[in-house]
Structure 1
Amino acid sequence: QNYPGNNFDGLVGGSGTVTGVNQFTYTADFGQGVTAAFSAEDVSNYYQAGNLNLSSAAASPAAAIAGLTNGAVGANGIGGTRSPNLVGMVRVDQAWGLFQASVAAHDNHVAYYGATEPTGHPDDKWGWAVQLALSIKNIPTGAGDVINISGVYTDGATRYNFQNLAGSTFIMYGSSNLAYGSLAAVTAPDTTYVTGSNQESVKTWGFRGAYTHNWDPYWNTAIYGAYAAAQFGGGTKAFLCAPGTGVFSSIAGVTSCNPDFNIGQVGLITRWTPVKNLTFSADLTWTHIDQKYAGIVTPGANFAVAKPGAPANYQLKDQDSVNLLLRAQRNW
């Protein structure tokens, strides 16, 4: 349910692969609208959120401040793929709506600690995700009205929550009364590790949903929302944020250090279909990044968005954005 009621592509709180995934699937139909499926899915295009080597952020003070303010945290050490994602699903499709439960297993395979084979590498670590979805039709508020909701929990399989079109690294700038500007820079990989150690999984949970009401045969409106939370393991937090010794907590100006974060989204969309197969829509989405760092830091310049570095400084704080999507869609 990447689109429970929205046109906006970037909802968190679930998976989304709208262009399709290469896969082998076996589906069993038990009748009465009950089916079950098992799939082996290609992981390379949509289901790798990253395996980050945190040691790169400790290489120098410049690397540390870059990791904190660019959301990098560490160097991506994905070592290719060794297994497809394994997915099992049970679906109940009835006149009243739909219920679906699914589980997925994801292998995290990491490259060498260094540039050559003798440096070694972490063992593979399997991640997993579980998701529930519910669609309720024929509700008493009007003909064609529908409620769609889904929820997900992941452990080392982040893309099933922070889906590909939303991404899992967010950098947003804003204003500040205390500094040149403000920023939030957060990321949610599948796993993290340091040179010489094994992988530690990142745990996430989230949900998304929408209620669509049809005013008449030509107009409908949907209100929708989504939420996703990312939580790092204790080893990662100690390496980055231990008082006095952490890579990020030791940066001048940092007063609170925690890589965990949450993202919340609320949206409203109205559609007008004056004739069959032609729809005009306006979709307004608000996104809030709830990050856990605090302080005022002086990073390097971010030329991609024309943000200056020293002497300009930035307050670490939550950020908000508003997106308006206007669309005219003609189907043949």
Structure 2
Amino acid sequence: MSLLNRFLLGSVTAFAAVGAAQAADLPVKKAAPIEYVRVCSAFGAGFFYIPGTDTCLRISGRARFEGAYQTAYSRQAGNGGDTSGFRGLARFNLDARTQTAYGTLRAFVRLDAASRTGTIHSGTMLRIGQAYAATGVDERGRAEQYVNVDKAFIQFAGLTAGRASSFYDFYAHDFEFYGATSGSDNSSTNLFAYTATFGNGFSTTLSVEDPVFTRSPVFSPVGSPAVGPVFVGYANGLPSRFGYVDNIQRSRLPDFVGALRVDQAWGSAQLSAATHEINVGNVGAGTPAGTLGVLTGIPHTNSVQGWAVQGGVKFNLPSIAPGDTLYLQGAYGNGAQTYIGYCMIAGCYAQANNGWDGQKFNQPFADASINPFTGQLQTSTGFSAVASYLHYWSPEWRSAFFGSYGELDFSRSARLAQGAVFGLLSSNGATSFSNNSVGVPGTRFYQLSEALRDTYQIAVGGSLIWSPVSDLDIGVEAFYTQIGVKNGRVIDGDKSPTAYASIAAINAGTFVPRTATQDSTTHVRFRVQRDF
């Protein structure tokens, strides 16, 4: 056994010696050098070179928590009834830049993902939603998970192409948590634009933008958000209608936006204008019944071009405190309600304001209505004015104070035309109506109905934010919003919820509904935000 052990040990030693000798004859392969990430200083702090390229990249983002409380008038059936809510948000930014012979080539991407519950909403997200709930909504719409491509654009030699903020916008709720003031804030739209610079801070931009994100429903007395009739009722249990209309505007021509801007040490100023086509196609004749048969020959509905203009100025006020800034802005629009930012407090996407539970009455938000006799569009007009001031009490403490006033008006003839058809329908035995019903001109219900009423909106608020360390904000914002009719009174739908089922009794004086001239809500929001 001892002899065998010595034999095996000798064999292993011999093989090891031969292997070592052969290995010594093999060529030695050097390890690949490690390419370290290099700092890119050409475009500011935070950029680094993507290994193997001459492109600089900056990665940044945000984490945010919000909780909110909002007053409500009731918990009546049909309303969510929530007065509080919460939201968590994650944001990721990718900013890639390359220096070329034509200037900087830039690509920017921003992704948002969030979860919200209860009464809390993001004004920006609802504007993006354009009347349709995002995926991940529960059966009552009280819990929602969403992911949004907020930005994805390319910039090169004065061109901007992709998903970006509208070049029409100026203030765009810069100092607000929620964005409650009136004023355009189309932070995400698809566009193709060219900006020319003239030196000394002057520039001008021509932008072709997606019309979907600036359209509102054309007024339809009854019907679903997707397709509704010009008017519909019931005669002897059978539908009595004429002229169906798709009250969601069709996309044919893009919006055209132009802006003239100056940016200097004292601040900035901008004058912008936009056009927006209102296009609903043909009004198709429905099945006539009774006396309404004479009204089926509605002509083709011609598209009309809405427009808006806006002017704004931003003053830097370091003489008061470093970082202090004042915005002043005003806008006027004809058939372009979204461009003046006259919306429900939750965003420019709905035909009526239902921004809080138990609301007394709805505001109509529409670029136009269709005359049921001529078939032609009759546009609305409106304006908004906004002021917002940011003040630094110290480097760690700051506050924003903001307010706005706006109005939206419909022509008297537009309401009279809808009322005339309402009278024909009523005389035909119709008994089912909605709160978009106008009523017969001269009657008590016509005086009190909310449809196509001229309205105003006031918003005032402020915030206090503490930044104990860089890029960390802990703050609270509160604002008050009031809506109202410019003249007369309207039915209080909260205190008289059966009024629209009692039109005949209202006109006969046997039922006197509760009425109101204005409605209001108060919203308080707490936020913790970390940017990186």
Q: TM-score, normalized by length of structure 1?
A: 0.80
Q: 1:23 aligns with which of 182, 185, 191?
A: 191
Alpha-carbon separation, structure 1, partners of 2:266 and 2:274? 27
> Shift of the alpha carbon at 1:140?
3.0
Larger RCO: 1 or 2 (CA < 8 Å, sep 6+): 1
Aligned CA distance change for structure 1 residues 79 and 187 (closer, same or farther; 3 Å): closer
Alpha-carbon separation, structure 2, partners of 1:31 and 1:201? 40
Any conservation in 2 of the 1:129–1:160 contact (CA below 8 Å)? yes
Alpha-carbon separation, structure 1, partners of 2:300 and 2:337? 21
Task: Tell me the percent identity.
Answer: 24
Tell me if 1:235 matches 2:413.
yes
Aligned to 1:289: 483
Look at both structures and tell me which one has the larger radius of gyration over its CA atoms.
Answer: 2
Aligned to 2:525: 325
Tell me if 1:170 matches 2:353.
yes
Any conservation in 2 of the 1:182–1:314 contact (CA below 8 Å)? no
Counting helix residues as a fraction of each chain, which structure ranks higher? 2
SS at match of 1:239: helix
Q: CA RMSD in A?
A: 3.1
Any conservation in 1 of the 2:342–2:408 contact (CA below 8 Å)? no
Q: TM-score, normalized by length of structure 2?
A: 0.52
The residue type equivalent to 1:33 in the other structure is G
Structure 2 segments unaligned to the other structure (5+ residues) = 1-170, 223-228, 236-243, 287-296, 425-436, 502-510
> Shift of the alpha carbon at 1:228?
1.4
Aligned CA distance change for structure 1 residues 120 and 245 (closer, same or farther; 3 Å): closer
Tell me if 1:248 matches 2:442.
no
SS at match of 1:210: strand
Counting strand residues as a fraction of each chain, which structure ranks higher? 1
Alpha-carbon separation, structure 2, partners of 1:57 and 1:115? 10
> Shift of the alpha carbon at 1:5?
2.2
Tell me if 1:82 matches 2:252.
yes
Alpha-carbon separation, structure 2, partners of 1:145 and 1:199? 45
Aligned to 1:131: 310
Aligned to 1:183: 360
> Shift of the alpha carbon at 1:185?
1.2
Any conservation in 2 of the 1:49–1:189 contact (CA below 8 Å)? yes
Alpha-carbon separation, structure 2, partners of 1:271 and 1:134? 24
Aligned CA distance change for structure 1 residues 82 and 264 (closer, same or farther; 3 Å): same
Alpha-carbon separation, structure 1, partners of 2:199 and 2:340? 31
Alpha-carbon separation, structure 1, partners of 2:446 and 2:299? 34
Corresponding residue pairs, total = 301
> Shift of the alpha carbon at 1:159?
0.6
Tell me if 1:199 matches 2:377.
yes
Any conservation in 2 of the 1:287–1:320 contact (CA below 8 Å)? yes
Alpha-carbon separation, structure 1, partners of 2:375 and 2:488? 26
Tell me if 1:266 matches 2:460.
yes
> Which stretch of the first structure deviates more once superposed, 290-299 or 20-29?
290-299
Alpha-carbon separation, structure 2, partners of 1:22 and 1:287? 31
SS at match of 1:122: coil
> Shift of the alpha carbon at 1:212?
1.2
Tell me if 1:147 matches 2:316.
no
Q: For residues 194-220 of structure 1, give each alpha carbon's deviation from its aligned partner in whole angstroms, at most 9, with x where no partner exists.
A: 334211111010011211110000001
The residue type equivalent to 2:264 in the other structure is Q
Alpha-carbon separation, structure 2, partners of 1:79 and 1:172? 22
SS at match of 1:51: coil
